[in-house]
A and B are shown apart, each in its own frame.
With several copies, the nearest count.
Chain A
């Protein structure tokens, strides 16, 4: 039993942290003033977009652990590029369908794809869907992937985002969200590769959960680090506000909550490729339920520590809160996941 990162994983963490750190948002105005295409290129060049492509044996180049390491760094930096949407979720779908060449293009950074989620953002859209769908994390993507039912089982389909989609006002300022209100003409769906097995779908969901959890763990940890740094330099009443026990305990409680979420997330990330799909999924639900249970509180605590300035639009604090809120929702909110856990736990009664 050893739950620590290997040396290689530790190196990956440093590389990802460096890119995310230099690319990370310092304040909301960076969203429009910086060159995010360059960030995407450096992710591609470092091979970070290729983690879920397959090697000669058909195994993913990087396991769920590697994905989580990079996703956490992206969350920590609030990096507004579609790392989860394109490099993880879409790439994994393409590889599961055997469309390795398409996946390779995403990994090179020359093309981007996103995913289509159902109306409550709780999972992949599955056609024939009768109404609203969202393209999530689709910045720069020309198309998004979803599922369609077929006699051979569910298949991956691609949908062009060029028609029928309008920008939605996402709470999360760092991920592009599109909306399609009406039913999508089946003629616009292009089937990709081979049908997926039930196990494929379970593993994909486990990966999605672990990746989103790692993202929000990064969001929480870096938000808290900023609040703590502020508490060490902000003076009121002639002393550093971080010397007030009230501030210390608020930070300590948020720290415990975030670290607990991180512990559950590490396990879920490892489980993606190491455990059987049902156990991996239970680990994912558990991690996500924990993350969703604490992310709003932790980022609200951060805004509170920042005081008045932390309430302003120009400040970075609410960008953390916004990404945390959306991360908490996608692929199932706390309520939804607790009910799934209950279905597993409480059947024997």
Chain B
């Protein structure tokens, strides 16, 4: 057991830190224009790719560097610490492609995914199929050498900025619901695809819904066999927030520092009560970090993703939401009257953390299964 970097890891980290210091675009987080912000993120993806920082843990044969997920974690951590632009989220789409795709598909889709030349989104959830993903209704009807897709997807993060979509649709309505789903690799620029941003309670457009009207997809863009969609979805989801994706920990720490400053500005640091609340928030962050490190170690040592991710998810939601409560309690009227810019929005942004990607209730169900409690 050693929580420290190995010499190799330490070397990688040192190089990365230097590289980040040299390359992070100045003032990137002050950009207000949405198109400019999108361009910045795409550009950052290409810059990272050119330096070899995309696909660290992908197999070498698919353009990765074949490193352990610890290196992904270091990249996440340092990017967070140095407040770099968001890392491109290619891991879970890539995993789906290099696990299930034909050779031709791999050659076509993986290189631009890695390089950032194409941006992807994930078309899984629907209005009537949130937690219960397998109930999805979007249909893909075979018509000669094409599928014809109709339906509506929701909570498609990045749908507004994506070029391509990993889409789940029902190809066989006559078999049990988990068995009639297939997966597709499809351009969202096709005729019949309409993307509409979803504004969340904070007032920000955080995600999107995507409407599919008679969209035609060539059969050769189906991923895996017909009916294999559920298995592909489960693989993707289990890697969607892997233990190496710990950028949120650095973000949490940055937010905590801001909250500590808010408390200081308001003269609350003299009061034991507020000191304890701030210390408690630190403890929650540490607990989250250390639990994630254990999970990462477990993954590195060869165990496949398992339900222990639900523990981290619940800890994360609780830490994030508690921290926003603390900020609100410190800011009081300033937060609710618009005098503390951004904090009310951050509060509302923290609420769906216990909903998206498996609600808190679903995570607890998963843990109950893991504890072998009866159904």
Give the interface of A toward B (CB within 8 A).
Answer: 1-6, 9, 65, 119-121, 134, 168-172, 177, 179, 228, 231-232, 235-240, 242-249, 251-253, 255-256, 259-261, 263-264, 266-267, 270-271, 274, 286, 289-290, 293, 296, 300, 303-304, 307-315, 317-318, 321, 325-326, 329, 333, 335, 338-339, 341-342, 345-346, 349
Contact residue among A3, A246, A345 (Cβ-Cβ distance under 8 Å from B282) = A345
Contact yes or no, A308 B130, CB < 8 A: yes
Evaluate whether A245 and B365 lie within 8 angstroms (CB atoms) in the complex, with A4-B298, A119-B333 already known: yes
Give the interface of B toward A (CB within 8 A).
Answer: 1-6, 9, 70, 73, 125, 127-132, 135, 154-155, 198-203, 260-261, 264, 269, 272, 275-276, 278-280, 282-283, 286-288, 290-291, 293-294, 296-298, 300-301, 308, 311, 314-315, 325, 328-329, 332-333, 335-339, 344, 348, 351-352, 354-356, 359-361, 363-365, 367-368, 371-375
Note all chain B residues with C-beta closer than 8 A to A179. Answer: 337
The 10 A-B pairs with the shortest beta carbon distances in the complex, nearest first, are A169-B338, A318-B201, A248-B368, A342-B275, A236-B132, A349-B264, A252-B364, A252-B367, A341-B279, A338-B279
Note all chain A residues with C-beta closer than 8 A to B363. Answer: 252
Distance, CA A232 to CA B357, complexed state (A): 23
Contact residue among A274, A309, A318 (Cβ-Cβ distance under 8 Å from B348) = A318
Nearest residue (CB) in B for A65 is B1
Contact yes or no, A232 B374, CB < 8 A: yes
Distance, CA A252 to CA B70, complexed state (A): 28
Taking the closest CB of chain A, its distance from the CB of B20, in whole angstroms, is 19
Contact yes or no, B338 A168, CB < 8 A: yes
Distance, CA A6 to CA B1, complexed state (A): 6
Nearest residue (CB) in B for A335 is B276
Evaluate whether A255 and B373 lie within 8 angstroms (CB atoms) in the complex, with A168-B338, A338-B279, A345-B260 already known: no
Nearest residue (CB) in B for A321 is B201
Residue of A119, A134, A170, A313 with most partner-chain B CB within 10 A: A313
Given contacts A238-B135, A286-B283, 16 further A-B contacts (CB under 8 A): A1-B293, A1-B297, A120-B333, A134-B333, A170-B337, A239-B374, A255-B371, A260-B315, A266-B1, A300-B351, A308-B155, A311-B356, A326-B336, A342-B278, A345-B278, A349-B261
Distance, CA A279 to CA B131, complexed state (A): 42
Contact residue among B6, B131, B337, B373 (Cβ-Cβ distance under 8 Å from A1) = B6
Distance, CA A172 to CA B291, complexed state (A): 29
Contact yes or no, A170 B1, CB < 8 A: no
Note all chain B residues with C-beta closer than 8 A to A9. Answer: 1
Note all chain A residues with C-beta closer than 8 A to B9. Answer: 1
Contact residue among B335, B337, B344 (Cβ-Cβ distance under 8 Å from A177) = B337
Note all chain B residues with C-beta closer than 8 A to A317. Answer: 201
Note all chain A residues with C-beta closer than 8 A to B203. Answer: 313
Taking the closest CB of chain B, its distance from the CB of A66, in whole angstroms, is 10
Q: Is the interface of B mostly helix, strand, loop or mixed?
A: helix
Contact yes or no, A329 B283, CB < 8 A: no
Note all chain A residues with C-beta closer than 8 A to B290. Answer: 3, 263-264, 266-267
Nearest residue (CB) in B for A271 is B3
Note all chain A residues with C-beta closer than 8 A to B329. Answer: 335
Distance, CA A325 to CA B360, complexed state (A): 23
Contact yes or no, B1 A270, CB < 8 A: yes
Taking the closest CB of chain B, its distance from the CB of A259, in whole angstroms, is 5
Distance, CA A274 to CA B3, complexed state (A): 9
Contact yes or no, B368 A304, CB < 8 A: no
Contact yes or no, A311 B200, CB < 8 A: yes
Contact yes or no, B275 A339, CB < 8 A: yes
Distance, CA A338 to CA B297, complexed state (A): 28
Note all chain B residues with C-beta closer than 8 A to A293. Answer: 280, 283
Contact yes or no, A304 B287, CB < 8 A: no
Residue of A6, A9, A252 with most partner-chain B CB within 10 A: A252
Note all chain A residues with C-beta closer than 8 A to B286. Answer: 264, 267, 286, 290
Distance, CA A172 to CA B335, complexed state (A): 11
Contact yes or no, B279 A240, CB < 8 A: no
Contact yes or no, B279 A339, CB < 8 A: yes
Contact yes or no, A248 B301, CB < 8 A: no
Taking the closest CB of chain A, its distance from the CB of B351, in whole angstroms, is 6
Taking the closest CB of chain B, its distance from the CB of A151, in whole angstroms, is 31
Contact yes or no, B201 A3, CB < 8 A: no
Distance, CA A274 to CA B2, complexed state (A): 8
Note all chain B residues with C-beta closer than 8 A to A345. Answer: 260, 278-279, 282
Distance, CA A318 to CA B344, complexed state (A): 12
Contact yes or no, A1 B272, CB < 8 A: no
Nearest residue (CB) in B for A319 is B201
Note all chain A residues with C-beta closer than 8 A to B359. Answer: 304, 307
Distance, CA A314 to CA B5, complexed state (A): 47
Contact yes or no, B368 A249, CB < 8 A: yes
Contact residue among B6, B361, B374 (Cβ-Cβ distance under 8 Å from A242) = B374
Contact residue among B129, B201, B315 (Cβ-Cβ distance under 8 Å from A256) = B315
Contact yes or no, B276 A339, CB < 8 A: yes
Distance, CA A325 to CA B287, complexed state (A): 21
Contact yes or no, B311 A255, CB < 8 A: yes
Taking the closest CB of chain B, its distance from the CB of A335, in whole angstroms, is 7
Contact yes or no, B333 A121, CB < 8 A: yes
Contact residue among A1, A119, A290, A308 (Cβ-Cβ distance under 8 Å from B5) = A1
Interface CB pairs A-B, < 8 A, 5: A237-B131, A244-B361, A251-B373, A321-B201, A346-B260
Distance, CA A326 to CA B261, complexed state (A): 24
Contact yes or no, B375 A259, CB < 8 A: no
Distance, CA A341 to CA B291, complexed state (A): 20
Taking the closest CB of chain A, its distance from the CB of B250, in whole angstroms, is 16
Contact yes or no, B337 A251, CB < 8 A: no
Contact yes or no, B332 A170, CB < 8 A: no
Contact yes or no, A307 B336, CB < 8 A: no
Nearest residue (CB) in B for A283 is B286
Distance, CA A246 to CA B6, complexed state (A): 44
Distance, CA A333 to CA B168, complexed state (A): 48
Evaluate whether A308 and B352 lie within 8 angstroms (CB atoms) in the complex, with A2-B2, A266-B1 already known: yes
Distance, CA A119 to CA B334, complexed state (A): 9
Evaluate whether A346 and B275 lie within 8 angstroms (CB atoms) in the complex, with A169-B337, A329-B333 already known: yes
Evaluate whether A289 and B283 lie within 8 angstroms (CB atoms) in the complex, with A236-B135, A270-B3, A313-B199 already known: yes
